[in-house]
């Protein structure tokens, strides 16, 4: 007669024999591929954009590449095109109920590559920095994030920064003073004590790091030279911008020019000296004579 223990063992199977087989994870071969993962296209707001969540409507005007002319854009779920001229089969009710928009979280929005119309809309948006209809200064101004391009740009910026820092550290002090004055560097400290040459050069190097491209562009420009001549003429009381509000005079007599409201004397006189008209040429000629 079979015992109860034998019956239970036959129902449960040979547990000891099963336990002897190791767990095997199958290898991924040519016939066994991992599940594909969705790739994304990332768009990012420029650094000057306000922080927080930003909603961008899916309605805009762009340049239609098929006609190279302005065309309305609407991003409608289920539509076959973003261009208004190609959405004539859509009823106003359908368009209203299926209108899409974008949400920038932490200044970015990610779209799967399968969302071809959404990506096309953003690339032709007037807020996209590379679109033909780009609006400079838009609150929604954004660019497409490209890691390789960002790395190249960062490297180029670092190389330029190293270049201008080297120029700032080795330039003759006479040139440094002129350019530093043009950049608005104060030659006195917070207590009104004149800075040393090293102190001015230190601030000059910081200015080079802050905006390398502008620093290099302005470094040996005519604007720097003229602005310094004007500054020296004002420091040496040869030009008087305080005699009468809204007017600038030669200290020895004679009106140079009216000063528009809100403009700085040195800045405005520099523009005047570099202008091609007779008034500007005469001012520059006399300014250079005063410096000799």
Banded pLDDT at 50 (limits 50, 70, 90): confident
Q: What are phi and psi of 77, to 5 degrees?
A: -60, 130
The domain boundary residue, chosen from 196, 217, 238: 217
Look at residue 26 and tell me if it is in a domain. no
pLDDT in tens, 159-205: 999 999 999 999 999 999 999 999 999 999 999 999 999 999 999 99
Are the beta carbons of 226 and 274 closer than 8 angstroms? yes
pLDDT at 136: 83
Look at residue 24 and tell me if it is in a domain. no
Q: What is Dmax (Cα atoms) for the chain?
A: 135
The domain boundary residue, chosen from 194, 217, 240: 217
Regarding whether 74 and 45 lie in a shared domain, the answer is yes
pLDDT at 290: 82
- Global confidence as pTM: 0.55
pLDDT at 17: 41
Look at residue 8 and tell me if it is in a domain. no
For the chain, the domain total comes to: 3
Look at residue 161 and tell me if it is in a domain. yes
Distance, in Å, from the CA atom of 60 to the CA atom of 82, rounded to the nearest integer, reads 10
pLDDT in tens, 252-284: 989 999 999 999 999 999 999 999 999 999 999
Q: Which domain holds residue 80?
A: 40-145
Tokens for 84, please give them. 């208004």
Regarding whether 164 and 137 lie in a shared domain, the answer is no
Regarding whether 257 and 187 lie in a shared domain, the answer is no
Q: State percent of the chain over pLDDT 70.
A: 87
- Please give the C-alpha separations between residue 210 and each of 207, 275, 292, in angstroms, as whole numbers: 5, 29, 34
The domain boundary residue, chosen from 125, 145, 165: 145
Tokens for 266, please give them. 């040195």
Regarding whether 123 and 64 lie in a shared domain, the answer is yes
Look at residue 45 and tell me if it is in a domain. yes
Look at residue 32 and tell me if it is in a domain. no
Look at residue 98 and tell me if it is in a domain. yes
Chain-centroid distance, C-alpha 159: 18
pLDDT in tens, 210-234: 999 999 999 989 999 999 999 999 9
Q: Which helix (H) or strand (E) holds 122?
A: helix 116-124
Numbers of helices and strands, H then E, in the chain:
11, 10
Regarding whether 129 and 73 lie in a shared domain, the answer is yes
Tokens for 139, please give them. 């609150």
pLDDT in tens, 108-164: 999 999 999 999 999 999 999 999 999 887 888 999 998 888 788 889 999 999 999
Look at residue 14 and tell me if it is in a domain. no
Output the CA torsion sign for 136, 140, 144, 145.
positive
- Please give the C-alpha separations between residue 85 and each of 100, 131, 243, 292, in angstroms, as whole numbers: 18, 19, 63, 68
Q: Which helix (H) or strand (E) holds 228?
A: helix 222-235
Separation of first and last alpha carbons in the chain: 130
């Amino acid at each position: 007669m079979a015992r109860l223990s034998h019956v239970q063992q036959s129902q449960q199977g040979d547990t000891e024999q099963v336990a002897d087989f190791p767990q095997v994870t199958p290898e991924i071969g040519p016939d066994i591929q991992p599940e594909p993962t969705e790739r994304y296209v990332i768009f990012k707001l420029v650094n000057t954009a306000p922080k927080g969540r930003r909603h961008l409507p899916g309605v805009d005007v762009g340049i239609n590449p098929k006609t190279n002319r302005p065309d309305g854009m609407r991003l409608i779920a289920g539509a076959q095109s973003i261009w208004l001229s190609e959405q004539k089969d859509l009823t106003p009710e359908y368009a209203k109920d299926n209108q899409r928009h974008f949400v920038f979280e932490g200044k970015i929005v990610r779209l799967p590559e399968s969302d071809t119309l959404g990506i096309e809309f953003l690339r032709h948006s007037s807020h996209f920095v590379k679109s033909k209809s780009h609006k400079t200064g838009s609150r929604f101004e954004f660019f497409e994030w490209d890691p390789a391009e960002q790395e190249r740009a960062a490297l180029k910026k670092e190389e330029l920064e190293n270049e201008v820092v080297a120029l700032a550290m080795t330039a003759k002090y006479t040139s440094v003073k002129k350019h530093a004055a043009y950049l608005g560097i104060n030659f006195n400290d917070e207590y009104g004590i004149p800075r040393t040459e090293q102190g001015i050069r230190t601030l000059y190097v910081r200015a080079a790091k802050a905006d390398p491209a502008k620093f290099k562009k302005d470094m040996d420009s005519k604007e720097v030279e003229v602005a310094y001549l004007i500054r020296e003429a004002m420091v040496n009381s040869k030009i008087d911008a305080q005699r009468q509000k809204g007017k600038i005079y030669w200290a020895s007599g004679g009106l140079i020019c009216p000063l528009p409201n809100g403009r700085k004397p040195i800045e405005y006189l520099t523009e005047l000296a570099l202008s091609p008209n007779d008034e500007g040429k005469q001012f520059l000629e006399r300014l250079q004579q005063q410096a000799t």
